[in-house]
Amino acid sequence: MIDLDVLVVGGGAQGLWLLNDLTKRHYRAILLERRELGSGQTCHSHGLIHRGHYYDDVDMMIILNAAAQFWEAFVDEKGVSKLNPSRALAGFGAGTAVQRHTYFWSTAGLRFERCENPPSALQGGKVKHLFETDEFSLDASEIIEALVHDVDHAVYKLDDHGGDLEFVSEGASIRHVIAHLSGEEVTLRPKFVVFAAGVGNYGLLAKLGADKNVMRGETPVQAQRKNHMMVLRGPELPSITAVFPIRGGLDGVFLCPRRDPDSGEPVWLVSDHNSTPFPMSPSERSAVDPHPSEEWVQRMLVSLRSTAPELLTDRSAQGLEVAVYTGLTSERNFGVGSHMTDLYIDPLGFENLLAIWPTKLTMTPFASNVALRFIRPKVPEPAGEWPTVEREIKLPGPQTACEMWRRAKVNGPHECKTDWTPYPEFMNRWHVNLG
Ligand SMILES: Cc1cc2nc3c(=O)[nH]c(=O)nc-3n(C[C@H](O)[C@H](O)[C@H](O)COP(=O)(O)OP(=O)(O)OC[C@H]3O[C@@H](n4cnc5c(N)ncnc54)[C@H](O)[C@@H]3O)c2cc1C
């Protein structure tokens, strides 16, 4: 039996950020991960650290901008590189009430300046008002490596075939958790448990009988969404980080730059504001096809061309390759049918449990602080110097995942990734005609 202050389940950005915060505060905490660290939503993401320029709600801007402060400090402390060599851009189409937006940005404390020299890739496109901002993009895998650096003594890989975690609860309190680690059955006795397992929160909550909104017609406590991303690789791609909200004829596009580790060529991660809800059982199985529709691929390319026409001319498209992938996001479902883009933290009626759904990588430090506010009254912060910690259990930890667009294969039942395909062939395969 191992006594712990806090057990964190899930080794994405959220679980690892919280583990760092707990460790800095001397809590005896460990984290359990079932696959590779970051292999869920975190390494599917663009790693875009939002400040809110994309959003319409001033409260979202304020929260995101505040959360981005944590990331600025993280980048400085850990030496993680921002992937945008020049300032990130936010742009609107003609006819947008630009003053109204910039007024909201100012109200929320967001920094921005008019961009005097728009990149040539955007010339001739629908972007008519362009601003420089302080948003930035990070490599999600580097984030995970930096987050695990100081806490790897406390991170463990669950056995693939050892069965799932088992929970022994008494009334509204979790007493024991049984885990299988390197073929051994280990009983943990945590004072507090945090589910930071992304899509996996649902299955964990089902084990505790907490997967339904009891007061809301037994609807599931969690909703899932499929998100498609397009990836472009080619020698002509400029290094741009940008968000183009749906305004003034623009269809909403995010762009984040990367570099292909094999060919050295520039890469663009591109997405729009797509996401499709779908039902899933606690076993995480459902008959949903993860592939994007031809209609989505067509729409994405039309949006991209109207934003960056220079990119898809016959000349510049030579040597361009395209791939698509799909990742899942999860969020708290309140049974009211609306899509939540905020962060949600919920004890679900338990005394010593929290489930966290950050919905954005950007929000994870913020969510970690809110979680600490729940934990502290139940488990007072231990006093003393920063502890020198030894591995609690003498077993190896999990590996770190690389970003999804770089993977040859994907694991999850609802994920997919296509091979790099030359642009003309890609257009034929997906029956796209840009006219
Ligand atoms: C395609 C896509 C693009 C995105 N782009 C951005 C972006 O640019 N900027 C932004 O701010 N946000 C973005 N997001 C959202 C962001 O990625 C997520 O909000 C964030 O990564 C969630 O982190 P997490 O740690 O809560 O979840 P996850 O990263 O999903 O981590 C959960 C971990 O728990 C593990 N796990 C699950 N079940 C169990 C179990 N039973 N036992 C043990 N471990 C378990 C999983 O293997 C996983 O490693 C994007 C999301 C997607 C899908």
pLDDT tens-digit readout, 83-120: 988 999 999 999 888 999 999 999 999 999 999 999 99
Residues 6+ apart with CB under 8 A from 311: 121, 232, 236, 237, 304, 305, 317, 320
Question: 38: left (phi > 0), else alpha (psi -120 to 50), else beta?
Answer: left
And the tokens for 150?
A: 């100081």
Report pLDDT for 93. 92
- The larger pLDDT score, comparing residue 398 to residue 81, is at 81
Which strand (E) or helix (H) includes residue 397?
none
Task: Work out the pLDDT band at 336, boundaries 50, 70, 90.
Answer: low
Q: Averaged over 43-71, what is the pLDDT?
A: 95
Q: Whose CA is nearest to atom 35 of ligand 1?
A: 10
Answer whether 249's CB lies under 8 Å from 125's CB: no
Instruction: With cut-offs at 50, 70 and 90, classify the pLDDT of residue 173.
Output: very high
Q: How many CB atoms lie within 10 A of CB 298?
A: 16
Task: Report the share of the chain in percent with pLDDT over 90.
Answer: 72
Q: 245-280: string of b/e by CB count within 10 Å (b at 16+)?
A: bbbbebbbbbbbbbebeeeebbbbbbbbebbeeeeb
Rounded CA separation 90/290 (Å)? 30
State mean pLDDT over 333-340: 72
Q: Establish whether residue 290 lines the binding site of ligand 1, counting it when its CB lies within 6 angstroms of any ligand atom.
A: no
Judged against a pLDDT cut of 70, whether residue 385 lies above it is answered with no
Q: What is the mean pLDDT of residues 152-158?
A: 92
- Topology of domain 2-429, per CATH? FAD/NAD(P)-binding domain (3.50.50)
pLDDT tens by residue, 372-383: 999 999 999 988
Q: Answer whether residue 247 shows pLDDT above 90.
A: no
Does residue 201 line the site of ligand 1, with CB under 6 A?
Answer: no
| pLDDT for residue 411 | 63
- Helix %, strand %, coil % for the chain, to 5? 25, 30, 45
Residue 49 neighbours by CB distance under 10 Å: 25
Which of 21, 42, 364, 414 maximizes ligand 1 atoms within 8 Å of its Cβ, making it the mutation to test the pocket? 42
How far is the C-alpha of 257 from the C-alpha of 268, rounded, in Å?
Answer: 5
Closest ligand 1 atom to Cα of 229: 1
Kindly list the domain boundaries of the chain, sorted by start residue: 2-429
Please, are residues 418 and 323 in contact by the beta-carbon 8 Å criterion?
yes
pLDDT tens string 387-414? 555 566 666 778 999 999 998 877 667 7
CA 344 → CA 135, 173, 348, distances in Å? Answer: 23, 21, 11
Which has more confidence, 337 or 248?
248
Total residue count of the chain as it appears in this document: 435
- What is the per-residue pLDDT for 393? 65
Q: What angle, rounded to 10 degrees, do the helices at 58-78 and 140-149 form?
A: 60
Binding site membership of 329 for ligand 1 (Cβ less than 6 Å): yes
- Give the pTM: 0.96
Average pLDDT for 42-68? 94
Ligand 1 pocket test: pick from 201, 361, 402 the residue with the most ligand atoms within 8 Å of its Cβ.
361
pLDDT higher than threshold 90 for residue 49: yes
Lowest mean per-residue pLDDT among 147-151, 187-191, 244-248, 389-393: 389-393
With vertex at residue 341, the alpha carbon angle to CA 337 and CA 343, rounded to the nearest 5 degrees, is 110
Q: Angle 287-293-295 (CA atoms, 0-180°, nearest 5)?
A: 150
Q: Is ligand 1 within 6 A of the CB of residue 41?
A: yes
Q: Quick check: CB of 197 below 6 Å from ligand 1?
A: yes
50 or 318, which is more confident: 50
Contact 269, 83 (CB under 8 A): no
Residue 224 CA, ligand 1 centroid: distance in Å: 12
Q: Mean pLDDT, the chain, as a whole number?
A: 91
Atom of ligand 1 nearest to the CA of 362: 11
SS3 418: coil
Are 58 and 216 contacting, i.e. CB atoms less than 8 angstroms apart?
no
Q: How far apart are CA 139 and CA 82, in angstroms?
A: 8
Q: Is the CB of residue 50 below 6 angstroms from any atom belonging to ligand 1? A: yes
Q: Identify the CA nearest to 201 among candidates 25, 347, 55.
A: 347
193-215 pLDDT per residue, tens: 999 999 999 999 999 999 998 77
Closest CA to 321 of 268, 271, 253, 274: 268
What pLDDT does 389 receive?
53
- Most confident option among 206-220, 245-259, 386-400, 420-434: 420-434
- Verify whether ligand 1 is closer than 6 Å to residue 204 (CB atom): yes
* Residue position matching structure tokens 């905020």: 342
